[in-house]
Amino acid sequence: MQETWRWFGPNDSISLEKIIQAGASGIVSSLHEIPTGEAWPLDAIQARKKIIEDAGLEWSVIESIPMHNDIKTRTRNFQRYIDNYKESILNAGKAGVKVVCYNFMPVVDWTRTNLMYLLPNASHALRFEMTDFAAYDVYLLQRAGAEADYSPQVMARAKERFDAMSDEEKILLEKNIIAGLPGGEGSYTRDTIRAAIQQFIDLGTEGMREHLFQFLREIIPVAESVGVKMCIHPDDPPFSLFGLPRVVSTADDARKILQAVPSESNGLTLCAGSYGARGDNDLVAMANEFGPRIYFVHLRNVTREEDGSFFEAEHLNGDNDMVGLVNALLCEERRRNKAGESNFCIPMRPDHGHLMGDEIGKADVKPGYSYAGRMKGLAELRGVIHTLETLQKRNSLAL
């Protein structure tokens, strides 16, 4: 597998030199300065690619070309935004960046309630707490009908939690949920997020799914023409928030996406942390079933709780079978190499590392994207990969 690292561009506090020191050979990046919905110019892609290559690295994956909500709702200027998306894909392919990770999440991107969850070892993790989320949804946002989306037990805890919150805690909770996070597509106010939520609720799950399929029917032929592999990222978390529809949360969702547009350019990002936040998603089985169409991997672990809450765990110590997943992906690499895709490697990156050491308290560290935490996770994953590759090679020679 190719070790990659998410880099937020020239203004990222983590330099390309530091990424090389961490051991990665590939970069996962985006042109964050281009507004959502606008086309990526070829010269801008080439310029960013040159910076990366001049440092001795490869721009392995674009994550992501943000998708305007008009595309997801198919309202207002959706066709112009789709045409712009096509132009961006064409230019990415022409520039030689052949893998594009994207998502189809409505309104909010990845969502957490606590960006500084204290762990027993005094480092900090990202956490999604169902009680706090319900408290925000019902008592702060005051979304119509929100109470019906939570169990009586969660509602009781949410009311108690809300009543105990200080004004500062309420402001921080709202900021964490709707003010925009790395990889997100913007920020909302309380009023604007209510309106956006209702629009998607009215659309419904099957309407949302059909809009995704219509997008893919237009985009995938363009991707095919320049050899680009599109790989959709799962919902994070993989269950409904704010009553919103979810269409990339389960193995069945992934199956439907691949069947809707049966092209090699229509693929998946296997995010272990996102899919793995549901206990009914078998990550190893998904890697085995969808292996030929998995083009990018986020190796991230979570510890799940009964009510749907979870926190970002150590890369090897959460509820997900990371060793089994890596083994399945390495087997897929071997299959592709035997089929003629010589020297094929699936790009993977460590994701959402813990905040630790001297980075605690620094304002320029993006939530989930600390240097030390991700380097630690990458080193742990590298050890697993090396061990499994050695065992696979020995078993192959023994045969």
Indicate if 68 belongs to the active site.
no
Q: Tell me which of 68, 124, 211, 233 is the catalytic residue.
A: 233
From the list 179, 163, 167, 175, the residue with the least C-alpha distance to 131 is 163
Q: Tell me which of 109, 137, 253, 351 is the catalytic residue.
A: 351
Decide: residue 228, CB within 10 A, 0-12 exposed, 13-18 middle, 19+ buried: buried
Q: Which long-range contacts (CB under 8 A, 24 or more apart) does 141-146 make?
A: 141/190, 141/193, 141/194, 141/242, 143/194, 143/197, 143/242, 143/243, 145/243, 146/242, 146/243
* Cα–Cα distance, 94 to 150 (Å, whole number): 48
Indicate if 271 belongs to the active site.
yes
CA-CA-CA-CA torsion sign (203, 206, 212, 213): negative
From the list 390, 349, 399, 351, the residue with the least C-alpha distance to 373 is 351
From the list 209, 193, 222, 281, the residue with the least C-alpha distance to 92 is 222
Q: Where are the alpha helices (DSSP H) in 165-280?
A: 167-178, 190-225, 251-260, 272-275
Q: Report the DSSP pairing between strands 124-128 and 114-118.
A: antiparallel
Q: Tell me which of 117, 136, 295, 369 is the catalytic residue.
A: 369
274 in Cβ contact with 235 (< 8 Å): yes
Indicate if 32 belongs to the active site.
no
Indicate if 298 belongs to the active site.
yes
Q: Tell me which of 298, 315, 354, 371 is the catalytic residue.
A: 298
Q: Tell me which of 68, 352, 354, 371 is the catalytic residue.
A: 352
Containing 349, the helix (H) or strand (E) segment is strand 347-350
Q: 3-state secondary structure string, 194-218?
A: HHHHHHHHHHHHHHHHHHHHHHHHH
Q: Tell me which of 271, 275, 295, 371 is the catalytic residue.
A: 271
* Cα–Cα distance, 177 to 369 (Å, whole number): 17
Residues labelled catalytic: 233, 271, 298, 351-352, 369
